[in-house]
Structure 1
Amino acid sequence: MLGRFRRKQGANTQTGVQEQDIGVSNSVEQQGEKPALHVHMPGFNHNGHKVTRGIKPDGESGRGGIHPWHFIRICFRSTSHISMIVNVLWPFVPAAIVIHFARPDLHLWNFILNYIAMVPTANLVGFAGQELARKLPKVFGILLETFLGGIVEIVLFMVLLHNDVNNNLVPVIRAAILGSILANLLLCLGFCFFAGGLLREEQEFDEVISEVGHGLLLMAGFGLLIPTAFYASLRGSIDDALLESKTLNISRITSVILLVAFFIYVYFQMRTHHGLYDSVLEKDEERDRDRHEDLKKAKLTLTECVFALALALTCVSLHAVFLVEEIDYIVTKRGVPDAFMGLILVPLVEKAAEHLTAVDEAWDNQMNFALAHILGATIQTALFNSSLVVIVGWGLDKAMDLNFEVFNIVILIMSIIVVGNFLRDQKSNYLEGSLCILIYVLIAIASWYYPNPAAGTSNTAEGAGTKAGG
């Protein structure tokens, strides 16, 4: 009786407090003032784990520190079945490092092993970035995940620029910039449309993601086109040395402007219009067909995410250095054109993790998430990464500019127009995906047969170009 009386008294007290709160709220509203809203994070998440302050419930692991067995098991399972299959390639990582130091004379094998080894390490960068993004607000998490996915690309660009001698690797860097954009816009987006279209007649996505992304891509394409158009229009009219100097200056100024555009885009997403993106992405989460399975999966701790990123980036950097050292041999001795090396081979390996993540999201009917990753990564390459490599080259006193081959820049502009046409109706199907993939295949075939232009021809300046190109 006494226990029952106390429970009843407690219930009445709680009810009284609630009524008092309601009364206060009503009196505040009557006075024309808005009541203060206090939103509290849930104490426990879907798996019953106590939520750490500052960590989102979906990213709470329920653990702390580093647990080796859990770390290996979670990383091996990765985000999807495809990513898990990619992790089977991890034995190539130590093999590539060993053969680089043991048999540096085996150039072809060094290139092949390091090329393959970059795939699982890039996959780990993508997975650790995704795990870290789960612990953060949605928009900021996607931006961080996209940036971490682009780290592999930045490392490769910086290694190529560092190893450049007399502009012998500049054509490869230029081609790799455009190739990275094409790999995202055509190959990755094509596979997303195709994979999602296999299970559904059509998939819909929001105009907030597609319109803003396509508008920025058009602006980036226009910016990247200007130095090329300037050089091609005036070539033969004025002294070549003067023209090259002016083109280099225009490229550097363009890079600064593109960087400003990128930071405005980030501010737009994170500060002024983040609510629009939040609502769109939350609806996408509700459409996720296996969200219940994703929520139940064991997750990395914050410490494990940082450790995984440090490990993966170290391996990626090593393989990038070893890979770039063999590019000159592959181009000069094996006859692989600069265009194919830059447009196809380099972007495919650097973008592996991002592509796997985006295709898995499209398969799970999260097309807005997939588009956010694809367009976000493409915009980062076009506005940030391309500008960064020019500015770093400026600091190293290297003639790294945005004077692309006319063949490459025309392909880029046409690809942006084609993809924009597919995004216009805010719907996708497997037909559009197939067409994007086929266009990419055509570009790959053309780049294989595209010869290395001799120095002083096309948009190649005197003294530039790989050794194969003179």
Structure 2
Amino acid sequence: MSTKNLIFLVFLIFIPISVAAHFLEWGPVTVFISAALGIIPLAAWMGTATEEIAIIVGPTLGGLLNATFGNATELIISLVALNAGFVGVVKASITGSIISNLLLVLGFSMLLGGLRYKEQTFEPIVARLNASAMNLAVIAILVPTAVDATSNGISEGVMQKLSSGVAIVLIIVYGLTLLFSMKTHAYLSDVGEAAKDSEEGEPEEKPNVLLWSGVLLGCTLLVAIESELLVDSLEAATSYLGLTALFTGVILVPIIGNAAEHATAVTVALKNKMDLSLSVALGSSLQIALFVAPVLVLAGYFMGQPMDLDFNPFELIAVAVAVLIANSVSSDGRSDWLEGALLLAAYAVLSLAFFFHPVIEGIG
């Protein structure tokens, strides 16, 4: 058993601890921390189960399955928080997930991979295509905010309708990116898939689809339960810790939801599979921007929650900075440890800014 899997196995102990902490009233901080740690191994096993089922159903359905469940943990946490009325935290978690994947995940991957290998290479065409899609996503979430900033008292209902329209466009674009990567230009992904195959090896026998479907279902239910505990204790715990909703949503929630992906991206980078590592980091950012965020906007519409794409301007600045530097670093098809350090430095600067930013002092 790998060290990563062993750590995830140990983290399972925090699931019963979080439940006990909730019912025995050990305090919101204990519930919050234990629920957060309990979600990490569940997210990892959800990802593994999705990949195993994808092997059975074939490349097309498998790709669609991965595209749908790739960020299921973040989506579940955000839906629970949205239903509880924590719209500010949900919006912050969207921008935070994009920033985290582009700067923290990619930064650690390039830094640690670059320390082991002097220079690593990957397919620049795929990186540029991802960059173009991310630029569109930034423009799409910028427009509603710009409309609000340049209008006189636009109503909440109108903003939600505008955001819903933009969300539908983004989901269509996401579908087009899947069609492009899985059908019309699937050969561009061959290098990443080959890297994955050589890393994991050819399985001797096909995975048990019923077993992994059960694992996926069970982990999804447990993530939902842990998310409820996390959200219920969120306001009191973060207030006790002296954290704002902005910092909690942008920094803490994405780290919790993306922990398994972080580990995967860094692990494959250490094995000189930078194509696959880049695919995990950039692909996750795209999925958040083009799929998860629009789904949350539409979900908010049906839940009766004021979820729209009118973000805090500083969040948009941070996303634009993250996209700009990540595109700059990945455009040449090579990476080294210094580029990874630059990405991490950018993340550290933004994290400090969000920590001291006074906006959104209350949660909800």
Q: TM-score, normalised by structure 1?
A: 0.73
**Aligned positions of 1:10-159 closer than 5 A:** 77=1, 80-103=2-25, 106-135=27-56, 137=58, 141=62, 143-159=64-80
- How far the C-alpha of 1:119 sits from its partner, in A, is 1.1
Letter in 2 for 1:221: V
The answer as to whether partners of 2:193 and 2:276 remain within 8 angstroms in 1 is no
The answer as to whether partners of 1:142 and 1:373 remain within 8 angstroms in 2 is no
Pairing partner for 1:371 from 278, 285, 294? 278
- How far the C-alpha of 1:303 sits from its partner, in A, is 2.1
State the distance in 2 between where 1:366 and 1:244 align: 46
Q: How far does the alpha carbon of each residue in 1:136-158 deviate from its partner, in whole angstroms, 9 at most, with x for none?
A: 54575455335323110110111
State the distance in 2 between where 1:148 and 1:297 align: 25
Compare 406-415 and 263-272 and name the one that shifted more: 263-272
State the distance in 1 between where 2:61 and 2:132 align: 21
Letter in 1 for 2:277: A
Q: How far does the alpha carbon of each residue in 1:240-279 deviate from its partner, in whole angstroms, 9 at most, with x for none?
A: 3x354433332121111111111111111222122332x3
Which runs of no fewer than 5 residues in structure 2 stay unpaired? none
Relative to structure 1, is the Cα distance of residues 106 and 263 closer, same or farther in structure 2, using a 3 angstrom cutoff?
same
Q: How far does the alpha carbon of each residue in 1:203-234 deviate from its partner, in whole angstroms, 9 at most, with x for none?
A: 11113421211110111111011111221233
2:355 alignment counterpart: 448
The answer as to whether partners of 2:54 and 2:66 remain within 8 angstroms in 1 is yes
Compare 123-132 and 422-431 and name the one that shifted more: 123-132
Q: How far does the alpha carbon of each residue in 1:286-316 deviate from its partner, in whole angstroms, 9 at most, with x for none?
A: 7x4x55xx44789852222112112211111
2:213 alignment counterpart: 306
1:284 alignment counterpart: 195
Q: How far does the alpha carbon of each residue in 1:316-368 deviate from its partner, in whole angstroms, 9 at most, with x for none?
A: 11100110011121344443111110000100000111111121121112222
The answer as to whether partners of 1:185 and 1:419 remain within 8 angstroms in 2 is yes
Q: TM-score, normalised by structure 2?
A: 0.93
Letter in 1 for 2:352: I
- How far the C-alpha of 1:176 sits from its partner, in A, is 0.4
- How far the C-alpha of 1:418 sits from its partner, in A, is 0.7
Q: Is residue 339 of structure 2 the alignment partner of residue 425 of structure 1? A: no
Relative to structure 1, is the Cα distance of residues 143 and 408 closer, same or farther in structure 2, using a 3 angstrom cutoff?
same
Q: How far does the alpha carbon of each residue in 1:345-402 deviate from its partner, in whole angstroms, 9 at most, with x for none?
A: 1000001111111211211122222222222211111011100111111112221111
The answer as to whether partners of 1:205 and 1:367 remain within 8 angstroms in 2 is yes
Q: Is residue 144 of structure 2 the alignment partner of residue 247 of structure 1? A: no
Letter in 1 for 2:48: F
SS in structure 2 opposite 1:276?
helix
- How far the C-alpha of 1:102 sits from its partner, in A, is 2.6
State the distance in 1 between where 2:311 and 2:94 align: 10
State the distance in 1 between where 2:96 and 2:205 align: 36
More helix per residue: 1 or 2? Answer: 2
SS in structure 1 opposite 2:150?
helix
Which runs of no fewer than 5 residues in structure 1 stay unpaired? 1-76, 455-464
Identify the structure with bigger relative contact order (alpha carbons < 8 Å, sequence gap 6+). 2
State the distance in 2 between where 1:435 and 1:297 align: 42
Q: Is residue 306 of structure 2 the alignment partner of residue 389 of structure 1? A: no
The answer as to whether partners of 2:56 and 2:206 remain within 8 angstroms in 1 is no
The answer as to whether partners of 2:110 and 2:335 remain within 8 angstroms in 1 is yes
- How far the C-alpha of 1:159 sits from its partner, in A, is 0.3
SS in structure 2 opposite 1:438?
helix
**Aligned positions of 1:190-229 closer than 5 A:** 190-229=107-146
The answer as to whether partners of 1:147 and 1:377 remain within 8 angstroms in 2 is no
The answer as to whether partners of 1:83 and 1:356 remain within 8 angstroms in 2 is no
The answer as to whether partners of 1:176 and 1:346 remain within 8 angstroms in 2 is yes
2:172 alignment counterpart: 260
1:338 alignment counterpart: 245
Letter in 2 for 1:195: L
Relative to structure 1, is the Cα distance of residues 135 and 200 closer, same or farther in structure 2, using a 3 angstrom cutoff?
farther
Letter in 2 for 1:444: S
Question: Quick check: which has more Rg, 1 or 2?
Answer: 1
The answer as to whether partners of 2:126 and 2:188 remain within 8 angstroms in 1 is no
Relative to structure 1, is the Cα distance of residues 146 and 266 closer, same or farther in structure 2, using a 3 angstrom cutoff?
closer
Q: How far does the alpha carbon of each residue in 1:184-221 deviate from its partner, in whole angstroms, 9 at most, with x for none?
A: 11111111111221221111111342121111011111
Q: Paired residues, what number?
A: 364
State the distance in 2 between where 1:339 and 1:345 align: 10
State the distance in 1 between where 2:274 and 2:264 align: 12
Letter in 2 for 1:93: I
State the distance in 2 between where 1:178 and 1:285 align: 28
1:233 alignment counterpart: 150
Relative to structure 1, is the Cα distance of residues 409 and 152 closer, same or farther in structure 2, using a 3 angstrom cutoff?
same
SS in structure 2 opposite 1:435?
helix
State the distance in 2 between where 1:129 and 1:383 align: 20
The RMSD of aligned alpha carbons is 2.2
State the distance in 2 between where 1:201 and 1:136 align: 38
1:176 alignment counterpart: 93
- How far the C-alpha of 1:115 sits from its partner, in A, is 1.1
The answer as to whether partners of 1:149 and 1:354 remain within 8 angstroms in 2 is no
Letter in 1 for 2:329: F
